[in-house]
Amino acid sequence: MKNLVLLIGNDINNISRGQSWKDLLQDIITFCHAGDCVELDDKKPFPLLYEEIFLTASKNHRIREKDLKSFIAIKAAEIKANPLHSAIRELKPAHILTTNYEFTLEGQIPLENTSIIKEKFYSIFRRYEVDDIQYWHIHGDCLNPMSINLGFEHYGGQLQLMRNYVVSGTVYSSKEVPKPSLLRRIHAREVYFHSWIDLFFTDDIHIFGLSLDFVETDLWWLLTYRARQKFHHKNVPVPNHIFYYIPEEYVAASKFKLDLLTANDVTIVSLPGKDKLGYYESIIKQIGKARQTVHHSSTR
């Protein structure tokens, strides 16, 4: 665990007081004047629900997506930090990947975007650096509202660019972006961590606070492609490990998802989760202990 890499989702924000996800959905519907037309239903995958809300509003009120995403960015920026955010920073990871849009993990609004290119919509290279930690907002950030990945169309575009980056190579005009695919560069030992995607093939990753619902098509594709490379194609070495943390109380009900993760070479780690704050503190403690053990053994 030379480079500690974390992938963190929105559930760590639920420790903070404030707006719930359902509250945000209702606010979006209200903002779009779609309350009479759109019904919230758990059976609707969120990226398609977002399209329903936006398209309904677009047809009836000519709302611009730019205005809707700016509203969502403002709401996301209102999320307050809690003790978990600082505890995560104290682990001193080399990289933090997050699906969150706000900057509570950084503890401050970053002064500089350190991506090799400035992306307006998608987030293949979206990176900020604060106190020697690289933060990758893989679904966009609230400083760039149009980058916020919510709808089915946005997920499709993100996945298209991800697959190009990994499999066929890129077509960006910038000379800073490598043109050969990630697979070719791994063969040539020329991986320089231009993108958060690189880390899925090189470094151990600890995933927590992220439900990994099947609507996260970009992440499920990446996990599947990585596993196929390791067990089927065997075109490139895949030496790293990926760990997914889940409360013990959710294991039985989540068996279908955990089976799929296991098939995709993800190690499941379950810990007592009745106390949400205590659950995440135990994850942070466990990762910290494992890192110290590896560090001590490597310096003997």
Closest by CA to 88, choosing from 227, 178, 233, 209, is 209
How does pLDDT run across 74-126, given as a tens digit for each residue?
Answer: 999 999 999 999 999 999 999 999 999 999 999 999 988 999 999 999 999 99
The angle subtended at Cα 283 by Cα 108 and Cα 292, nearest 5°, is 90
pLDDT confidence of residue 295: 52
Please provide residue 95's backbone torsions phi and psi, each rounded to the nearest 5 degrees. Answer: -140, 140
Closest by CA to 151, choosing from 51, 42, 73, is 51
Name the domain boundary from 29, 52, 78. Answer: 78
pLDDT confidence of residue 270: 98
Closest by CA to 83, choosing from 292, 281, 296, 283, is 281
Asked if residue 89 and residue 72 are part of one domain, the reply reads no
Asked if residue 64 and residue 30 are part of one domain, the reply reads yes
Asked if residue 233 and residue 126 are part of one domain, the reply reads yes
- Structural domain total, the chain: 2
What's the whole-number mean pLDDT along residues 51-72? 92
Asked if residue 124 and residue 265 are part of one domain, the reply reads yes
Asked if residue 248 and residue 165 are part of one domain, the reply reads yes
Beta bridge partners of 6: 96, 206
How does pLDDT run across 211-232, given as a tens digit for each residue?
Answer: 999 999 999 999 999 999 999 9
Taking the whole predicted model, whether its pTM rises above 0.85 is answered as yes
Burial class (CB in 10 A: 0-12, 13-18, 19+), 87: middle
Beta bridge partners of 137: 98
What domain range includes position 62?
Answer: 19-78
Asked if residue 152 and residue 66 are part of one domain, the reply reads no
